[in-house]
Amino acid sequence: MEERFIDNGDGTVTDRKTHLMWMQNDSYNVFKRFLVYSVAKKFLAKMNDESFAGHNDWRIPSKEEAHSLYYRDKEKSIQDKYEMDLYIDPVFTEGGGYDTWTSNTRGKITAYVFSFGSGTGGHKEVDDTLDTSVRLVRGTMDEKVKAVLGKIPPKKGMVVTDQR
């Protein structure tokens, strides 16, 4: 059986199921600190300015794209910087953040955060740094895959909405 994720050998991972390309490291792996949302956007600009892995169309993932990495049955995992389990493929670098910022925002106040440890998510204030990093993506997600993902369960204590 063919592996879903391909290590491209240049710091990127290709997902054969969704047709997306991901950065193998998240921002915590790069900076060794968590980021507020505005700094996550600066990290994005830096990766595009430097044409990371030969590409300058990197972006912050949508909540559905981040959700697509999560293994609901917890069959595969890596550990974050606190040695907590993240249920994503081991092709991704260990030691990163537990959550990832997404491109889903509500004005300039909150952005949606997806947890790779619990498979849940919710909106968080954009200036909140607690355990938040970003894993950049490029490409267009396969709509068939997006349709079968289902709703993301709310994360306790976070604001949940169907708004962007």
What domain count does the chain have?
1
Dump pLDDT digits (tens) for 8-46: 999 999 999 999 999 999 999 999 999 999 999 999 999
pLDDT for 158 equals 54
pLDDT for 164 equals 38
Amino acid residing at 63? K
Q: For residues 143 and 32, give the distance between their C-alpha atoms in angstroms, rounded to a whole number.
A: 34
Q: Could you tell me what percent of the chain has a pLDDT over 90?
A: 77
Is the pLDDT at 80 greater than 60? The verdict is: yes
Does residue 161 lie in a domain region? no
pLDDT for 162 equals 46
Q: Could you tell me what percent of the chain has a pLDDT over 70?
A: 92
Does residue 163 lie in a domain region? no
Mean per-residue pLDDT of the chain:
91
pLDDT for 140 equals 95
pLDDT for 163 equals 42
Does residue 153 lie in a domain region? no
Dump pLDDT digits (tens) for 128-163: 866 799 999 999 998 888 888 777 877 665 555 444
Does residue 73 lie in a domain region? yes
Does residue 158 lie in a domain region? no
pLDDT for 1 equals 72
Does residue 27 lie in a domain region? yes
Does residue 157 lie in a domain region? no
* Domain extent for 103: 5-148
Split at pLDDT 50, 70, 90, the class of 114 is very high
Q: For residues 44 and 57, give the distance between their C-alpha atoms in angstroms, rounded to a whole number.
A: 9
Q: Which long-range contacts (CB under 8 A, 24 or more apart) does 5-10 make?
A: 5/89, 5/91, 5/92, 6/91, 7/91, 8/53, 10/53, 10/54
Does residue 119 lie in a domain region? yes
